[in-house]
Structure 1
Amino acid sequence: MTALRIGFIGVGRMGAPMVRRLVAAGHEVRALGRSGDARRRITELGAEPVSFTAAVGTGADAVVVCVFSDAQVREVCLDTPLLASMPGGSVLIVHTTGSPRTAEDIAAQANSSDIGVVDAPVSGGPHDIAAGTLTVFTGGAEDAVARAFPVLRCYADPVLAVGPLGTGQCVKLVNNALFAAQLGLITEAVQLAGELGVDEATLLSALQRASGASRAATSVAAKGSVAAFHAAVGEFLRKDVATVRTLAAELGATMGALDTAIDAQFLDTPRGV
């Protein structure tokens, strides 16, 4: 395997185990760390810390962006010298879940420099990254996705090519809308069980062995309760649900029963936002 020079922005909850696996695979990783503590964490992962976005992109075969929000993606990619610092023939991989239009805007700015752009939102958590079993939905031109694949395969399996640029985000947003709707139904099911005198933990354990089983139910059971699961992932779900509702409204799409089920849980994200 050819060692790649990889720039990385967003060495947090998801980014840190990605960097660890990239380094373990023999790649040369340079990661953005603006504070002393961040630079120390990056060094501990085996990567080289740098203080500016331009240094992340300089000489890189690929740059990975794994920040929290769509707004942060736009700031990093469109309001800094990152793209200008990346060499022609390199690829920008955006893991952050957000609007497909963000990927399109980045590509519009990058294409004149022959930089490939791939939207690559993920499904899974840090434990999946550590095991190399993260699911990634890639959207982009075939050659750009091919350039991104050697990076993604270090921590993801499967890597699913789902269509042109922006399609990865669309698939992820639909997935998260469905997942949030399932959580809404589980919340209602737990309430019903309680009214019938059934303990929540007992119900969650039983569901995993019955026809009501689902990935959502298993995830909730692993945390012990609906409340504990929401405490762990609610921030991420609120962000993604707001994004898919906004996109659906802009495109005149209908979420139908998905929206109703999502509203059954406490995401604090009203319809039509």
Structure 2
Amino acid sequence: MKIGFIGLGVMGRPMAGHLIEAGHEVSLHRVKDVSRFLVEKGGAEAASARAAVEGADAVILMLPDTPDVEAVLFGEDGVAEGLPRGALVIDMSSISPVATKDFAKRTEAAGGLWLDAPVSGGQAGAENAALTIMCGGSDEAFAMAKPLLETMGKRITLVGGVGAGQAAKVCNQIIVGLTIQAVAEALTLAEAAGADPAMVREALMGGFADSTILNVHGKRMIDKAFEPGFRIGLHRKDMSLAVDAARALDLALPNTATVQHLMNAAVGHGDGDLDHAALIRTLKDLSGR
């Protein structure tokens, strides 16, 4: 297929690389020095979003936030200006479920199909083509997208109609964020009580407290290895989406709001570009440790 790929960050670069390696014709927008290798692999550099999607069968977006997606889709020289009739727009960014429904309507008015398909799995999942992908859209859009998604991920689910994929991703980020907080609090308590946090983690693995986050992020916390797989600043954005959705739906999500505030503090302390496991630093700061 001919694909326009826009958004070549930590996640987007390996995702686009898998598509190129699979033999697709991939046009890349926002190529920088760090993503130049994708052109050397066979990708084509496009000067604008509009240029990237001309003649494309599908367009994939992997952008930081809701305003970025809107600007790329509908701004000057944007996707909508060059979108071929019947082309599929797959938004793999993590953005507002409410805005997603509006973007889908505007994309369909421009003659395209829409699928929201945010991902979970972080940098490692992107690099290993093992992402979990949560989709929202029509059966037709999902069927068209699935061969491409299978190139980038392992668990791919059509959750429901437009926006359902983004809703599922917000739910994912709530669970991940609250679990990171729980592991960080537990290891902070262990250290303050005089226990070896590494041995406490070892003792908890395999029991009801076990989780991927205790395994992976718990080790990062103990090793103080905070090179980002997923930055606190981006996770804060996702927690803000959850809090905004709770307000719009008149829901009480108190612990979600608490983690959002802790992430605000982490960003305020200058830790926004660290891995979200670095939330333990914020808890220790609050405890005077």
Distance 1:93 1:72 in 2: 15
User: Are the equivalent residues in 2 in contact too, given 1:70–1:99 (CA < 8 A)?
Assistant: yes
Distance 1:224 1:204 in 2: 11
Cross-structure match for 2:73: 77
User: Are the equivalent residues in 1 in contact too, given 2:15–2:129 (CA < 8 A)?
Assistant: no
Which amino acid counterpart does residue 27 of structure 2 have in structure 1?
R
Which amino acid counterpart does residue 58 of structure 2 have in structure 1?
A
Aligned equivalent of 2:154, options 152, 157, 169: 157
User: Are the equivalent residues in 1 in contact too, given 2:138–2:161 (CA < 8 A)?
Assistant: yes
User: Are the equivalent residues in 2 in contact too, given 1:34–1:52 (CA < 8 A)?
Assistant: no
1:127 offset after TM fit, Å? 2.0
1:55-76 Cα deviation digits (max 9, x unpaired) = 1110000000001112111111
- Residue 123 of structure 1 pairs with residue 120 of structure 2: yes
Distance 2:265 2:41 in 1: 36
Distance 1:49 1:27 in 2: 14
Count of equivalent residues: 264
102-111 or 151-160: which moved more? 102-111
Cross-structure match for 1:205: 202
The verdict on how the C-alpha distance between 1:235 and 1:226 changes in structure 2, with shifts beyond 3 A counting, is farther
Cross-structure match for 2:50: 54
The verdict on how the C-alpha distance between 1:46 and 1:216 changes in structure 2, with shifts beyond 3 A counting, is same
1:226 offset after TM fit, Å? 8.6
User: Are the equivalent residues in 2 in contact too, given 1:97–1:169 (CA < 8 A)?
Assistant: yes
1:42 offset after TM fit, Å? 3.1
Distance 1:222 1:12 in 2: 25
- Residue 30 of structure 1 pairs with residue 16 of structure 2: no
After superposition, the CA RMSD in angstroms is 2.2
189-198 or 89-98: which moved more? 189-198
- Aligned-pair identity in percent equals 29
Cross-structure match for 2:216: 219
- Residue 64 of structure 1 pairs with residue 60 of structure 2: yes
1:130 offset after TM fit, Å? 2.7
Aligned equivalent of 2:173, options 157, 171, 176: 176
1:151 offset after TM fit, Å? 1.3
1:233-255 Cα deviation digits (max 9, x unpaired) = 31221111011101111121221
1:209 offset after TM fit, Å? 2.9
Q: Which runs of 5+ in 1 are unaligned?
A: none
The verdict on how the C-alpha distance between 1:92 and 1:120 changes in structure 2, with shifts beyond 3 A counting, is same
Cross-structure match for 1:188: 185
TM-score relative to the length of structure 1 = 0.88
Which amino acid counterpart does residue 66 of structure 1 have in structure 2?
M
TM-score relative to the length of structure 2 = 0.84
Aligned equivalent of 1:138, options 135, 138, 142: 135
User: Are the equivalent residues in 1 in contact too, given 2:14–2:126 (CA < 8 A)?
Assistant: yes
- Secondary structure of the 2:206 match is coil
1:117 offset after TM fit, Å? 0.9
The verdict on how the C-alpha distance between 1:166 and 1:25 changes in structure 2, with shifts beyond 3 A counting, is same
Cross-structure match for 1:246: 244
Distance 1:70 1:31 in 2: 20
Distance 1:25 1:253 in 2: 44
91-100 or 142-151: which moved more? 142-151
Which amino acid counterpart does residue 140 of structure 2 have in structure 1?
D
1:65-124 Cα deviation digits (max 9, x unpaired) = 001112111111121331221111111011111101222121221212331111111000
- Secondary structure of the 2:72 match is helix
Paired residues for 1:92-107 under 5 Å:
92-107=89-104
User: Are the equivalent residues in 1 in contact too, given 2:135–2:165 (CA < 8 A)?
Assistant: yes
1:207 offset after TM fit, Å? 2.4
Cross-structure match for 2:262: 266
The verdict on how the C-alpha distance between 1:18 and 1:77 changes in structure 2, with shifts beyond 3 A counting, is same
User: Are the equivalent residues in 2 in contact too, given 1:238–1:269 (CA < 8 A)?
Assistant: no
Which amino acid counterpart does residue 234 of structure 1 have in structure 2?
I
1:184-225 Cα deviation digits (max 9, x unpaired) = 111221122123211222222332233210122122134243
